[in-house]
Amino acid sequence: MTKKNKPTPKTPAETQPAAEERVEETFPEAVASILSVLVIGLFILTFLGQNYVIPSGSMEKTLLVGDHLLVDRITLAPPTKWMPLVHFREPRRGDIVVFIKPVPDPDVEGNPQYLTLVKRLIGVPGDHIHLRNGIVILNGVAQNLPKDGENSPNLLNMADQEFLDEFPSISPANAPSGGATEAWAVDFHNHFENGDLVVPSGKYFMMGDNRHNSLDSRYWGFVPRENIVGRPLFNYWSFVTPEDQYEKPGIGNSVVWLGHVALHFFSDTRWNRTLHRVQ
């Protein structure tokens, strides 16, 4: 009688399935992955959203110098057939909007540059605007001041007594540096009707909430519809910043400021404004 041999038990390593071989990502694949992320990010920043930093106090106390905003570039953009499901609407009175200034400013080399600004939309096409003692009278109705905004009577020199107190004497000699333009000095009288300034078709009238410290449509005129970029959604980061910081030229100043931000990030960040909705 033959003796049967018992089967040799398998070790745990033998009972487990063979480990899958690790596939190394090739260099072209890594480059493609990086490029795809960059393309998506560029698309978002170009067509959907944009970062904007508040450089001046013209919108205090609604927006502060050093506020970093995420700007919606979709809602106020002209509607397009290739994005039929996206909601579009026209700019409305009271909107805070980001737009391209309609007249250029010279840069340090004397070349014209078109600045991107943020102001509150005061008048839409067809509106009649009148200013009296710091109060906007829109279509015959006095408007409330912007929430937390500041105001000041006699804030500007008089341009036309019939138009009352606060449209500037547009002569550059009587306006803050870089404020009034000669073209607007000539043109704004053409838009009077019964003592009111009438907003023409396709144009908008902008003012800063901090009206005694804002160079706006009172100085350089109406903003064309095509110049409107979008509207701020929320403040994703706010850092205590001097008002003249973003006007300082040179790489050296930028490096010094970055060092200051790194050292004082926690102490000078306005944490109560983080994710603060803009309105």
Question: What single string gives the DSSP state of each residue in 5-21?
Answer: PPPPPPPHHHHSPPPPP
pLDDT at 155: 30
Active site residue 119: yes
pLDDT at 150: 42
Indicate the DSSP class of residue 32.
Answer: H
pLDDT at 158: 31
Indicate the DSSP class of residue 269.
Answer: B
254-275 tens-digit pLDDT: 888 889 989 999 999 999 998 8
Q: Which one of 56, 101, 119, 203 is the catalytic residue?
A: 119
Nearest to 224 by CA among 198, 197, 199, 188: 199
pLDDT at 146: 66
What is the CATH code for 48-277? 2.10.109.10
Q: Which one of 56, 58, 217, 238 is the catalytic residue?
A: 58
Q: Phi/psi zone of residue 110: left (φ > 0), alpha (ψ -120 to 50 degrees), beta? A: left
Long-range CB pairs of 75-80, under 8 A, 24+ apart, other chains included: 75/230, 75/231, 76/228, 76/229, 76/230, 76/231, 77/230, 78/226
* Beta pairing partners, 29: none
| Centroid of chain to Cα 76 | 13
pLDDT at 149: 42
Q: How far apart are CA 121 and CA 188, in angstroms?
A: 18
Judge whether 140 and 129 are in contact, CB under 8 Å: no
Active site residue 201: no
pTM: 0.73
Which regions in the chain score pLDDT beneath 50?
148-166, 168-173
pLDDT at 180: 60
